[in-house]
Structure 1
Amino acid sequence: MAESAAHRGAAGRGSHVAPGDGTLDPRRWQALAVCLIAGFMTLLDVSIVNVALPSIRTGLRTPESDLQWVLSGYALAFGLFLIPAGRLGDARGRRTVFMAGLALFTLASAACGAAQSSLWLVVARLIQGLAGGLISPQISALIQQMFSGSERGRAFGMFGTVVGISTAVGPLSGGLLIQAAGAHEGWRWVFYVNLPLGAACLLLARRLLPDTPSAGPVRPRDLDPLGVLLLGTGALSLLLPFVQAQQWPGDGKWLLLIPAAVLLAAFVGWESRCGRRGTQPVVDLSLFRVRSYWLGCLLALLYFAGFTSIFFITTLYLQNGLHYTALQAGLAITPFALGSAVAAGPGGRLVGRFGRPLVVAGLTTVAVGLGATALAVHLVPGRGAGWAMAVPLLLAGLGSGLVVAPNQTLTLSEVPVATAGSAGGTLQTGQRVGSAVGIAAVGSVFFAQLAAGGWAGAYDHGLVVAVGFVVASLLIGLADVRGERREGGRTPRTVHIGAADRAP
């Protein structure tokens, strides 16, 4: 019943409801595959470029400052456009915005691969990040729109698998491409690999993705341009010092946190006024009165602070400290990706039965796995450390598979489909902020300990900070479980969703 309602009114090309009888179109799983491939491309480009930096430096004679922006420029543009893109998809149509973002991402990838100077590459990476920010919130919104109940959990489980794999196999994929194509020009194929995938996805998206029932022509003022401006400048002021923590010397960068706080406070005030006047805000602040949503966003922010920083310091330790090649470093991290891929599917299916306790179990497993990784590096120093950390990283990956997708399902479970894009964009923005903060915090401890304790000691201390973020997210999960028990209810809110499944 709820699932039929979620697709009511979407007849026509790309619809997932057969005309006249309300029967679900089985092509929704094919449409999900298109979304997942596009999501894999955008998330892979966050991590795959790490191992390509030496090749880029050789091929383009790129200065260190430009290399930093090849990485951080993509992350900044990606994070800044998530919320506005989610709102645009809700208003104008998710398929339309998805296809526009995918076309721009594919063209920007071609421009990155063809770059003849470091400035060219940095600008192309900024555009590529913008395009990734357009695509990403449409994926979670389309899952909300196309699926409900246990099927939605399965779909988010598949998306969680993609998140885990794309983050972890980036270094391995980059290493393989560079080894195959050569150190001088191999970096270009890190970007060119997106071209056939992007072209195929674009053709399939037009055929398979559903329309957005509530979408229609919109005026620019209906997209809350002042809210977008306040949010964009506030988020930029907040993210920039963290993203550039290692490259921007001195403490002056932290002064940007003051205007960030002012701008974000002004944004909250403006959005509250929009709601009272009946204007559609870029972020519906009433969502943060829903406990499953705001707790899930906070948990994701803290978890991604620990989760993504693991790959940052592990790659540094293996390549710079132990002199592993890019391919060897990628292979050493692969057990985490395998564990995440194995657990994410079952996690998506089981979240409707177990709810938040499943996420708590996953977070506990991640913390134990990372602690064991630090112990393994301590017990097996030297080049054997990559083998020693394989089993603990596999355990941490299994736990991660029970965190990312189930938490996303629970966080969005009570979100109305009409605002699924902006809600998903807000959640993913929290993840990007968490990643930036985590890499800055873990990286600062890592580099501070490097001179005193060597590479192994620096890695140990960095992992301790990463585990601290994971434990903080675990405490948030435990608080949610305790709150539900006090209310006397059981957890399976992802099965009986109610209003969240109703199309506008």
Structure 2
Amino acid sequence: MPAPDQTPVPGRWAALAVCMLAGVMIFVDVSIVNVALPAFRTGLGASPADLSWIVAGYTLTFGLALVPAGRLGDGRGRKRVLVAGLVLFALASLAAGLAQDATWLVAARLVQGLAGGLVNPQLLGLIQQMFRGSERGTAFGVFGAVNASSTAVGPLLGGLLIDLGGAEGWRWVFLVNLPLAVAALVLAPRLLPADPGREERTRTSLDPVGAVLLGVAVLGVLLPVVLAERDPAAAPWWTAAVGLAVGAGFVAWERRYARGGRDPLLNERVLRSPGYVLGTSLGALYMAGSTAIFFVLTVYLQQGLGYSALLAGLATMPYAVGSAIAAAWGGRVVTRVGRPLVVAGTVVMAVGIATTLLVVAFRTDPSTGLYTALPLFVAGIGSGLVITPNQALTLQCVPTDQGGTAGGMQQTAQRLGSSLGIAVVASVFFTVLAASGQQFGTALAVGLGVVLVCVLAAFALGLVDVLRRRRGHRRGPDDPAALGTGLVSGTATEPDPHAAAGHPHH
């Protein structure tokens, strides 16, 4: 008989399809509104500050909810929290589509982000719960492919809906979520694995004080970063210092909470899982560069080359296609290849970005979008080989009962990284644009240079890890330097998480 942690969950692939249906909604909404900003201005009279909050509000509340939602799902039932998040997301989407003024729309976007933050950790936690061994890598590959393609298709879908909907087309940017939400809500109760009964649930505390402190810390850091995307000078940078101070208080509280014999939000079992801290750091650093690509490309194509929203979305599609293909393949092979796959992905990504940089530096005519198609496709392949395999490696040794919390912490780090990256790249882009006399190609080339630096930094971190693992392998598995690496010579291992953590089974 297999160990309990290795027993396959019946119906797991059908359940994964339901999870991905939910994922499509929250991933599309990250990017679909970008091409609708002019429509918000004309249709609702939205001011520049309103537009910032329509975009940034979703990111802020999404990031705030991730870790507490992961803990809630781990302790009280992932299916239950997922369904609640879907209901809230559907209602917020309906409210956004019916908005009568900009304030109404901003409020609906804040609730949408909160609902998305409730849903996302449950998806990661359910993958951890339902899949084992190489199947888990394949499932993460599907997750990564859906994430990459949905986020990248968002601007294209938004442009199409706006073109077809006329003056009120922007409303369909939000209302398109409703049929997806209804389908997911009908299928989720039937196909997702049942939550544990009241007597079987873990007695994990939700750590409300820790959740509030973490939320304030994340809000303080994220707020000026996301608002700086439109006006860096007007962003409230002082809140970042407050956020860092509260973050220090959060760490102190978590240590005190753990000394009291309780399970803190900053869970030591998760942090000590082999590869978790390094993988989370690498992912955040990589996302700081890769997420900014779409922002500067969209501005370049629409304002610099005069592309419509639909054409701008089409021009970025090669990246999405490459990323989706590579993510699905990378998830299947990551358990055999290990961290070297992630390092190889950063190299491929760097080659694609560097080639795109050279193209835009020397071409400024409307055909530029055609010339960037191949290098963006290559960059997308590299991205798919980094994000999904790194996520699978980062979470592979996390205790199954902590999957939602670990996924929430990982996603929060990536959210911070991506927001910071967009702010820095956007600031550099607009500074160079003004200094060069509106030379969009030059500004984009410099912005992509910053992206390239982030990708190379992620490469360096991954390479250091690979070399450390190889040294540990040569010394033998009993050598202290070889312990806690998670992968030995590129082969994934999945020990009993409870035994590895020194905790009894619940």
TM-score higher than 0.5: yes
User: Where does residue 61 of structure 2 map in the other structure?
Assistant: 77
Q: Which amino acid aligns with 2:388?
A: A
Indicate which of 455, 477, 483 corresponds to 1:470.
Answer: 455
Matched, 1:497 2:494: yes
SS of 1:107 mapped into structure 2: helix
> Which of residues 450, 465, 479 in structure 1 aligns to 2:464?
479
Q: In structure 2, how many angstroms separate the alpha carbons of the residues matched to 1:75 and 1:55? A: 20
Corresponding residue of 1:256: 239
219 and 358 in structure 1: CA distance in 2 versus 1, 3 angstrom threshold: closer
Q: 2:434 aligns with which of 432, 435, 451?
A: 451
Tell me the distance in 1 between the aligned counterparts of 2:8 and 2:296: 50
Cα deviations by residue, 1:431-453 (Å, 9 ceiling, x for unpaired)? 11011000001001000000223
Paired residues of 1:362 and 1:398 also in contact (CA < 8 A): yes
Find the counterpart in structure 1 of residue 5 from structure 2. Answer: 6
Alignment partner for residue 305 of structure 2, among 294, 304, 322? 322
1:470 Cα deviation from its structure 2 partner: 0.8
User: 2:378 — aligned with what?
Assistant: 395
2:366 maps to which residue? 383
Say if 2:149 is the partner of 1:150. no
Q: What do the CA deviations read for 1:73-107 (whole angstroms, capped 9, x no partner)?
A: 00000001000000000011000000000110011
Partner residue in 2 for 1:181: 165
Q: Distance in 2 between matches of 1:331 and 1:251?
A: 33
**Post-superposition CA distance 1:108-151 (Å, at most 9, x none):** 10110010111110000000000000000000100000001000
Counterpart code for 2:54? V
Residue of structure 2 in register with 1:164 after alignment: 148
Summarize the Cα distance change of 1:497–1:93 in structure 2 as closer, same or farther, 3 Å threshold.
Answer: same
1:50 aligns with 2:34: yes
Q: Deviations over 1:420-478 (max 9, x none)?
A: 11100000001110110000010010000002231111000000001111111111111
Matches within 5 A, 1:23-62: 24-25=9-10, 27-62=11-46
Query: Does the 8 A contact of 2:75 with 2:203 survive in 1?
Result: no
State the alpha-carbon separation in 1 of the partners of residues 411 and 270 from structure 2. 15
Contact 2:337 2:491 (C-alpha < 8 Å) held by counterparts: no
Distance 1:217 1:233, change over 3 A: farther
Q: Which residue of 1 aligns with 2:275?
A: 292
Aligned 8 A contact 1:416 1:500 in 2 = yes
Q: Distance in 2 between matches of 1:279 and 1:468?
A: 41
- Mark the CA change 1:468 to 1:215 in structure 2 (over 3 Å): closer, same or farther: farther
Show structure 1 runs of 5+ residues with no match. Answer: 8-21
Counterparts of 1:385 and 1:126, CA distance in 2: 36
Determine the structure 2 residue equivalent to 1:353: 336
Residue 335 of structure 1, aligned match among 289, 301, 318: 318
Match of 1:244 in 2: 227
The answer on 1:113 being equivalent to 2:97 is yes
Alignment partner for residue 138 of structure 1, among 102, 105, 122?
A: 122
In the TM superposition, residue 179 of structure 1 has moved relative to its aligned partner by 1.1
From the superposition, tell whether residues 231 and 390 of structure 1 become closer, same or farther in structure 2 (CA, over 3 Å). Answer: same
In 2: Cα distance, 1:476 partner to 1:85 partner: 29
| Structure 2 contact 339–490 (Cα < 8 Å) conserved | no
State the alpha-carbon separation in 1 of the partners of residues 489 and 136 from structure 2.
Answer: 13
> Between the two proteins, what is the percent identity of the paired residues?
52
Does 2:374 align with 1:404? no
Note if contact 2:56-2:227 (Cα within 8 Å) is conserved in structure 1. yes
SS in 2 for 1:223: coil
CA distance in 1, matches of 2:207, 2:141: 33
Structure 2 counterpart of 1:377, one-letter code? V
Deviation, 1:171, is 0.8
Pick closer, same or farther for the CA change 1:289–1:218 going to 2, 3 Å.
closer
> Secondary structure of the equivalent of 2:233?
coil
| CA distance in 1 between partners of 2:274 and 2:203 (Å) | 32
Question: How many angstroms apart in 1 are the aligned matches of 2:178 and 2:234?
Answer: 41
Q: Distance in 2 between matches of 1:209 and 1:391?
A: 39
What displacement does 1:216 show?
A: 6.0
Q: Give the match's secondary structure for 1:222.
A: coil
Q: Indicate whether 1:438 and 2:424 are aligned.
A: no
TM-score, structure 2 normalization: 0.92
CA distance in 2, matches of 1:345, 1:501: 30
TM-score by length of 1: 0.93
In 2: Cα distance, 1:181 partner to 1:231 partner? 41
Of 108-117 and 494-503, more deviation after overlay is shown by: 494-503
Q: Distance in 1 between matches of 2:232 and 2:129?
A: 46
What is the alpha-carbon distance in structure 2 between the residues aligned to residue 291 and residue 172 of structure 1? 39
AA partner of residue 344 (structure 1): A
1:278 equivalent in alignment to 2:275 = no
Amino acid at match of 1:56: F
Q: Distance in 1 between matches of 2:367 and 2:124?
A: 40
Letter of the structure 1 residue corresponding to residue 124 of structure 2: S
* Deviation (angstroms), 1:276: 1.9
In 2, Cα distance between the equivalents of 1:62 and 1:443?
22
The CA deviation at 1:269 is: 1.1
The CA RMSD measured in Å over matched residues stands at: 2.0
Give 1:286 shift.
4.3
Cα distance in structure 2, aligned partners of 1:492 and 1:31: 33
Distance change >3 Å, CA 384–CA 286, structure 1 → 2:
same
Matched position secondary structure for 2:316: helix
The answer to whether 1:203 aligns with 2:203 is: no
1:500 deviation in Å? 3.5
Equivalent residue of 1:143, what SS? Answer: helix
Question: Could you tell me which residue of structure 1 aligns to residue 480 of structure 2?
Answer: none
Q: Name structure 2 gaps, 5 residues minimum.
A: 478-486, 500-504
Q: For the structure 1 residues 129 and 204, does the alpha-carbon distance in structure 2 shift closer, same or farther, using more than 3 Å as the test?
A: same
